[in-house]
Structure 1
Amino acid sequence: MRAEPQSFDRVLSSMCTEPHPAAREAAERFLATNPGDPGTYQTAAALEDRAVAMLGEIVGLEIDTADAIGAADEDGSGGPTGYVTSGGTEANVQAVRIARERAARGTDRPSVVVPESAHFSFRKAADLLQVDLEVVPTASDHRVDLDAVRAAVDEDTAAVVGVAGSTEYGRVDPIPELGEIATSVDALLHVDAAWGGFALPFTDREWHFGHAAVDTMAIDPHKMGQAAVPAGGLLVRSADLLDELAVDTPYLESTSQATLTGTRSGAGVASAVAAMEELWPDGYRDQYVRSQHNAEWLADQLESRGYDVVEPVLPLVAASIPTWLFESLRAEGWRLSRTGDDERVRFVCMPHVTREMLESFLADLDRLESRAARAVPSPGE
């Protein structure tokens, strides 16, 4: 095969990035291992314990590694407090599945309350798991409307979802308040921090297990964590919640499994550990500061050119760029995407996005704008 992967030098819309060199090397070494069979692949299982413990530190969840995946008791008790998933979609589906199983004993049709800013994976989860999805609006700041959440929850609510780093505007919902609402109806609180989880520790926003009554969380090392794809993460506050998912595995050396997939490459696990050991916390702090500065600089540059810009609270900029210019920039090779509601163009300042790259983008934007202006006849011509 002669095909080569796409370069990242014009990618401004993706929430994936170039993996850290240590993460790339670790992924290659553990490519053929299977943490889904921890009794056989013991080194990969031990690395998953390490990944869960490190993710727990990042998100304010104290995790006893004796309870981590691959270290459950022979009778299946204890269970894991998290595992390395294929990404945020799997983690969100599993969180909804936990909530459904827990609620099924008290309702015939459990529901999950999500903001309109929630990732599309929750629609997949609702379809697969046959739960009702109650979508509530966001306020003018693009965060969930708390009054709408309070009006939506009832005795059938299995989970309330908050977003910590939304994919379209980079916003962080008021997680402590959502926890109070979820607790009031005996529902679980799930936080989707798949993208924001590696940036938020260096801000003053309240978003994690240590700030609120969070029960489950998605956080992806293969996004801002600089691990190789696929390497997501699902964390839960207590092992009994993941026990809701456990199934017997009679022909494996381990006796039960709570993951969604069976066979999983150890590449993602090893890559996540390697990246976090290299970068947590100082490397991630430096990365966040650099990415946030780039986002704020880009926002100022676009605003000075007359575009309407949603100010970045995390390293993500949304700006109202006309369709003809959006399409022209894509024709120049820039990988861009739009938000779903008002069709702004979104720019995600991932670690591979440099100031020089943004300057090159703006040069192309200015050139295309200038060419278009010259093509418009003057009045009276």
Structure 2
Amino acid sequence: MQPSVGERRPQSFERVLSSMCTEPHPAASRAAERFIASNPGDPGTYDAVADLETEAVAALGELAGLPEAHGYVTSGGTEANVQAVHAARNLGNAGNSNLVAPESAHFSFSKAAELLGMELRTVPTDGDHRADVDAVAAAVDDDTALVVGVAGSTEYGRVDPIPELAAVAEDAGTRFHVDAAWGGFYLPFTDHEWDFADAAVDTLTVDPHKVGRAVVPAGGLLARDAATLDALAVETPYLETPSQASLTGTRSGAGVASAAAALAELWPAGYRAEYERAADLAAWFAGELSERGYRAVDPELPLVAVDLPDPLFDELREVGWRITRTGAGEARVVVMPHVSRERLEVFLGTLDRLAGTVGV
């Protein structure tokens, strides 16, 4: 017999090492509870949460180098990426039938291409898992609606050469999108060139419900100009607001309010401190793995990919460590706010113990 809803407990984060979601900030949780019944999809009726969304978008714009940002709080990075492709198709000419992205791009671009009836052209990355600019340029043609760059890839935490990709898009007369869903809350504290201030970026994805520590769901789509949202808008005759640019209709007031609350609480000092903590921890962890003889990819952002023998990986999963693999088979450890040195020391102890039992 299945336990009742009241008897069930959510997943503990204690052994979650590969997720890009984390425990929300207490201020975000409180805000989410207050606005749980509000619908930002009907801002004329729910004006208080609409004001919070305006604040959240402005804060995300400041984070991403766009003082007068346009956009909205999405259900996550997938919706934001789909909408970036959607806007590019709508704003292009009739022949705009493909988008070009590195093979490191998130699977949401496959969803976008299928939903919108477009061709997704994926191109190789270089030897360090970043977009190959020459390969991107070779794949672009007169029918390209959008070029995609990744700022914090989900498998290796790599940052593409964003200004160079922007130049490829500009030369081709097409739009340019940056997916910084996970990396966007780390990158302001690095010397990477990745945002609206660094390059001719048209749209950008950045998710408060990842490192931003909002509750799920709270993604973010930012656009350089209002025309992008206008290209997505549909009439909504029975609502108090005449049109709607979001992909979903009813949306999460909890997500919007929590995003505004987390950003107000943590930007910029709290996020800077978390980046410095996570970066130091990822470097230490990669070093510990290397000392044990495992090949670990040098972390660029706080994500460690490491080659583990299949039996060892399986045993770690069996005893409860929530780890996943890259497409090439490495184990991924994402150093999110809930991942502490103490937890990684326990993981390493388990790794050492199990390595002896499986004979590696």
State the percentage of identical aligned residues.
Answer: 64
Which residue does 2:27 correspond to in 1? 22
Q: CA deviation at 1:95?
A: 0.3
Q: CA deviation at 1:265?
A: 1.8
Q: CA deviation at 1:191?
A: 0.2
Quick check: 2:91–2:231 contact (8 Å CA) kept in 1? yes
Q: Larger Cα Rg: Structure 1 or Structure 2?
A: 1
Q: Distance in 2 between matches of 1:293 and 1:370?
A: 29
TM-score, with structure 1 as normaliser: 0.92
Q: Distance in 2 between matches of 1:331 and 1:180?
A: 47
Which residue does 1:72 correspond to in 2? none
Which residue does 2:314 correspond to in 1? 327
Q: Distance in 1 between matches of 2:126 and 2:232?
A: 35
Q: Which of 60, 63, 75 is matched with 1:86 structurally? A: 75
Q: CA deviation at 1:141?
A: 1.0
Structure 1 counterpart of 2:358, one-letter code = A
Unaligned runs of 5+ in 1: 65-80, 377-381
Q: Distance in 1 between matches of 2:58 and 2:247?
A: 20
Structure 1 segments (4+ residues) deviating >6 Å? none
**SS, match of residue 18 in structure 1:** coil
Q: How does 1:202-351 map to 2 (within 5 A)?
A: 202-340=189-327, 342-351=328-337
Q: Distance in 2 between matches of 1:96 and 1:360?
A: 42
TM-score, with structure 2 as normaliser: 0.97
Q: Distance in 2 between matches of 1:372 and 1:161?
A: 42
Which residue does 1:167 correspond to in 2? 154
Q: Are 1:362 and 2:348 matched, yes or no? A: yes
Cα displacement string for residues 41-98 of structure 1 (whole angstroms, at most 9, x for unaligned residues):
000000000000000000001116xxxxxxxxxxxxxxxx100000000000000000
Q: Distance in 2 between matches of 1:149 and 1:302?
A: 34
Q: Which of 11, 25, 35 is matched with 2:16 structurally? A: 11
Structure 2 counterpart of 1:284, one-letter code = Y
**SS, match of residue 274 in structure 2:** helix
CA RMSD of aligned residues (A): 0.9
Q: CA deviation at 1:369?
A: 1.1
Q: Distance in 2 between matches of 1:235 and 1:177?
A: 20
Structure 1 counterpart of 2:38, one-letter code = T
**SS, match of residue 104 in structure 2:** coil
Structure 2 counterpart of 1:351, one-letter code = P
Q: Distance in 1 between matches of 2:11 and 2:237?
A: 42
Q: Distance in 2 between matches of 1:186 and 1:99?
A: 12
Cα displacement string for residues 277-334 of structure 1 (whole angstroms, at most 9, x for unaligned residues):
1110000000011111111111000000001111001000000001100000011100
Quick check: 2:40–2:46 contact (8 Å CA) kept in 1? yes
Q: CA deviation at 1:346?
A: 0.6
Q: CA deviation at 1:371?
A: 2.5
**SS, match of residue 126 in structure 2:** coil
Q: Are 1:45 and 2:53 matched, yes or no? A: no
Structure 2 counterpart of 1:59, one-letter code = A
Q: Which of 68, 81, 84 is matched with 1:95 structurally? A: 84
Number of equivalences: 355
Q: How does 1:138-217 map to 2 (within 5 A)?
A: 138-217=125-204
**SS, match of residue 131 in structure 2:** coil
Q: Distance in 2 between matches of 1:213 and 1:15?
A: 27
Unaligned runs of 5+ in 2: none
Q: Distance in 1 between matches of 2:94 and 2:9?
A: 52
Which residue does 1:118 correspond to in 2? 105
